[in-house]
Every structure is written in C-alpha cells, then in structure tokens.
Amino acid sequence: MRLMVYSHDGFGLGNIRRMLAICTHLLDSIPGLSILVVSGSPMLHSFRIPKRLDYIKLPCLNRDLLGEIFVKYLETEINETVKLRSELILSAIANFKPDIFLVDKKPYGIRNELKAAIEYLKIKLPETSLILLLRDILDHPDVTIPEWQKHSYYEAIQKFYDRVLVVGNPEIFDICQEYQLPPMVARKVQFCGYIRKQLGRKSPNLIRSELRLNPEEQLILVTPGGGEDGYRLIDTYLSSLVLLPASHKLRSLIICGPEMPLKHQAALKLKAAVYPQVQIDEFTDDLMSYIAAADAVVAMGGYNTTCEILSVGKPTVVVPRIKPSREQCIRAENLANLGVLVAIHPNDLTPDILLRSLLQQLQTPQISQTAINLNGLPKISQYISTLLAKKKSVIPFCYNPSVQLPKLAMIAKIV
C-alpha cells in the first residue's frame, strides 16, 4: 500500500519534523506500507530516514516575518518556482499512484500549488483518499478565517477531502468553533490528541556524563527550534546569567538551530565565551535526549518542542513567536493557563524576568500530563490502517492498456 505525504515547508523545521514523526510511526505499525514525502524543507536530508520511506526535494520556499512567501535559494521568480514545484508534485502523484494522499496544513498547498494534483486525483485516481492534517492551532481566528474564505479552503475540504485529522485537543483549542467551520466540514474533523514523542537515543545519565555535569549542577536546555528568529531569546538568556545568584549551579546547553544565520551564531558564541558553564551547538537530530536530561527548558513555543516538553513533563519557560503567526503565543498562553508551563510574551522579555521565571520553574516538580491527550500518533495510525484495510477488501482495479498515464507535457498543461 502507498501513502504520499505533502509537507508544508514555509518557515522553520516544525512541519517536516512532525510529518516525519507521523511517517515513522505509520511505518512501524502498518506492515507493507511505502511512503513518499514531497517537501521543500532544506533540512530533510539531516534527519534519519526509515526504511520504506523516500522523498522528493522541492525547490525551497520561505516565509518572512510579514508572512510573504519568497524563493529561499534559487534566483528565480516566485511564480515560476511555484509552477515548477506544482509540476513535480503532479508528476509524482501520476506515477506513484498513492492509495492515500496526506496533506499538511493547507488544503491547496503553498500558493495553491496542490490544486492541479488534487483535481487530477479526483478525475484520474478517484479511489485515492485525501486526508488533511492540521496542527492544533494555525493562527489567530481573525487571520485564519479570512484566509480560508479567500482561498476557498472550506469548499476544498468539503469537495475533495475524506477527513481532517487534528493533532491537538479541543479542550485547549477547538478549531471547529474557533475557525467557524461549516457543519459539512466540521463533521470531517477528528481530534487525535498531541503527538507524544518517543524517548531519545541516549539516556539522561549518558547525556549528563557526556556533558561532564557535576552532581550538584542543574542542566538548562535552551532551544529556539529551527533558530531562524531565535537570536533574541538566546541573547537574553545569556544576558540573564550575569544576574544568576552564586548559590545556583547551572550548566547551560544552547542549541541554536540549523536555520539561525551564521552571523547570529557567531555573535552568540562570542558572548557565551565568557561563561565556562555554557555550551553552544548548532543542531541535533536527537533533541529529545537532551530535553529528557535537562532539569528545565527555555524554548520558543513551536508545536514539536511543546510536544517534546509535554511528553516528559519538564519545567519550562516558553517565549513564543508572535510573527508571522500568533499560533505559538495562543498555544503558550492556553497551556500556561492550565499551569503546564510559564509563558513570557516577547514584548515583556528581559533578562531579569527570564531568570526569575526560570528559577521559579526549577523549584517546580515535574508536571503530570494525565489531563492532556498525547495519543496523536496511534490515533492517526488507527485511522489510516483502517482506511487501507477497507481498500484492500475492494475488488482490485483491472488494468486497461488503452488508458495511458499522462506524459510530462500533458501534466504541464493540466497545471
């Protein structure tokens, strides 16, 4: 059986990390499944790729702090780059012929680049099921509702998609209510819960031994996710160490993120050089090991980082991103209201406030997550495996040699 995955890749690492976690779980739980991922993520090659999964790398796009999409690496126009991506996706659909097409975040993809592929599936491969995967929060309703109306996303879901799987809890953010989903669309929504992260490859004791921590030292992990806009968080954290009372023995591991500009990394390493108890690294593909080993975490509020923190119940201070989307801020505030973490609005971020919040969290025992549903992965797997089982029970399609797959020239016309 074949699953094709479209991973949205406009900003940071969150989408591709989430989709790879889902794909890995599906491969572990569904024998005989093959998965083809299409994504423009520049970091896709840096992650461990499991057997029975492969990917097509699209030309990379990015989104600035104003939300504008642009071409990240190629010196090409945005329209021609989107057209190229669209044709590559359509060609992959036509040749791979997936049983299920799992689409991340936007029903028609970035700048509607999936529209031709979805219309092709409807006409040429009507047995292919379309599933839309949404994280818990997209943006503030004042932004999301007009955007979905403008791009006819409600109509797209109603016409093309079999199901909308939401990796979140309605008690924290109910997209049906918040985004005013029409009844025909809301009936397709299934809340799966947040994604529980598996333990990392190294034990906490091994990590602390590798970092040469003394028994009396407490480890603080600082992570801004992908890091593209993480300079201020790390810079403020380093400035807060000047105010640290001598009675507190802290060791700090800072993971800048692979998308942090090199000049920002250099400036932070220079500033951190005066603190012998601070170590700065660029990237790890095993962040979960370090979160599990830490006594507390200072982070931005991305979906994946939040799930990792929830999975091990670490005391956490979150300074959420507020541009280009308010998604992180909404999530952090809602979780803070439940007492799960401490949230600091970026407008209120100072070294003093950050340090006081961190020291307060270090006095807080690890939190219980019994009230938060973290069963996202098994719920998604259960739905997809049931769907595939139904497809297997259907009478196989008989090949008709008179029906030819479209050539690339024809695909271009469809686009």
Find the radius of gyration of the CA atoms of the chain.
Answer: 22
The predicted pLDDT at position 391 comes to: 87
Secondary structure of residue 257 in the 3-state scheme: coil
Tell me: the pLDDT tens digits for 136-179? 999 999 999 999 999 999 999 999 999 999 999 999 999 999 99
Superfamily of domain 2-196+374-414: Glycogen Phosphorylase B; (3.40.50.2000)
Euclidean distance between the first and final Cα of the chain, in Å?
A: 27
Q: Which of 64-68, 268-272, 327-331 has the lowest mean pLDDT?
A: 64-68
Secondary structure of residue 76 in the 3-state scheme: coil
The predicted pLDDT at position 100 comes to: 98
Tell me: the pLDDT tens digits for 28-64? 999 999 999 999 988 777 777 899 999 999 999 988 7
The predicted pLDDT at position 14 comes to: 72
The predicted pLDDT at position 368 comes to: 59
Whether 346 contacts 354, CB under 8 Å: no
Phi/psi for 225 (5° steps) reads 70, -135
The predicted pLDDT at position 392 comes to: 81
Does residue 414 surpass a pLDDT of 70?
A: no
State the average pLDDT over residues 395-415.
Answer: 44
Pick the more confident residue, 106 or 367: 106
Secondary structure of residue 135 in the 3-state scheme: strand
With a CB cutoff of 8 Å and minimum separation 6, the contacts of 159 are none
All structural domains of the chain with their residue ranges: 2-196+374-414, 204-362
Same-fold call for 2-196+374-414 versus 204-362: yes
Residue 178 burial by Cβ neighbours in a 10 Å radius (0-12, 13-18, 19+) = middle
Secondary structure of residue 2 in the 3-state scheme: strand
* Domain with residues 204-362, CATH architecture: 3-Layer(aba) Sandwich (3.40)
Secondary structure of residue 259 in the 3-state scheme: coil
d(CA 221, CA 203): 15
User: pLDDT over 70 for what percent of the chain?
Assistant: 93
> What band does 8 get if pLDDT is binned at 50, 70 and 90?
confident
State the average pLDDT over residues 239-267.
Answer: 96
The predicted pLDDT at position 116 comes to: 97
State the average pLDDT over residues 222-237.
Answer: 95
Three-state secondary structure readout of 203-255: CHHHHHHHCCCCCCCEEEEEECCCCCCCHHHHHHHHHHHHHCCCCCCEEEEEE
d(CA 112, CA 116): 8
Token pair, residue 221, equals 């992990």
Whether 214 contacts 249, CB under 8 Å: yes
The predicted pLDDT at position 42 comes to: 82
> What band does 217 get if pLDDT is binned at 50, 70 and 90?
very high
Tell me: the pLDDT tens digits for 325-377? 999 999 999 999 999 999 999 999 999 999 999 999 999 876 655 578 999 99
d(CA 185, CA 19): 23
Q: What's the Cα-to-Cα distance from 404 to each of 44, 127, 371, 407, 410, rounded to whole Å? A: 33, 17, 53, 8, 11
User: pLDDT over 90 for what percent of the chain?
Assistant: 81
Pick the more confident residue, 43 or 195: 195
Tell me: the pLDDT tens digits for 274-331? 999 999 999 998 999 999 999 999 999 999 999 999 999 999 999 999 988 999 999 9
d(CA 205, CA 295): 12
Q: What's the Cα-to-Cα distance from 26 to each of 131, 169, 378, rounded to whole Å? A: 14, 21, 9
Whether 154 contacts 181, CB under 8 Å: yes
Mean pLDDT of the chain: 91
The predicted pLDDT at position 16 comes to: 84
**Per-residue burial over 88-99, b = 16 or more CB atoms within 10 Å of its CB, e = otherwise:** bbbbbbbebbbb
